[in-house]
Amino acid sequence: MNLDYLFYRFSKSKFRSKFHLSDKDIDYINKKGMDKIREHAYDFISKRLGPEVIENDGKQTPWRGHPVFVAQHATGCCCRGCLEKWHGIKKGHKLSDKEIDYIVSVIMEYIRREYEKKP
């Protein structure tokens, strides 16, 4: 999927468009670096969204506390239901490496765009 079009769709969603990285998130990115944030994204997605069955699906992603969590909500990568709705990734199967790579790329693109907006 074209990421520019996907981000355009997010901008038209009242819910998705309300999420933005906080100054604390930006400070965390500055401290850790984008490579470490990407590692965290892979870890969170693999463990929280990757399994075939997720016991607390729809409630597994905190609202804040890490830039990746904010990005997950902003990009519809927060639960398997949203992944299906926004990205066409069906529920009920273990995520493939290709699907995880795609999700992380969407999350990191959101973080990059938000990061570049901040002074």
In the predicted model, is pLDDT for residue 1 greater than 70?
no
| Long-range pairs of 51-59 with CB within 8 A, sequence gap ≥ 24 | 51/94, 52/92, 52/93, 52/94, 53/92, 54/79, 54/80, 57/81, 57/91
pTM of the model: 0.93
Taking only the tens place, the pLDDT of each residue in 26-72 is 999 999 999 999 999 999 999 999 999 888 777 888 889 999 999 99
| One-letter amino acid for residue 92 of the chain | G
pLDDT of res. 73: 97
In the predicted model, is pLDDT for residue 118 greater than 90?
no
**Among candidate residues 68, 79, 63, the one with its CA nearest the CA of residue 29:** 68
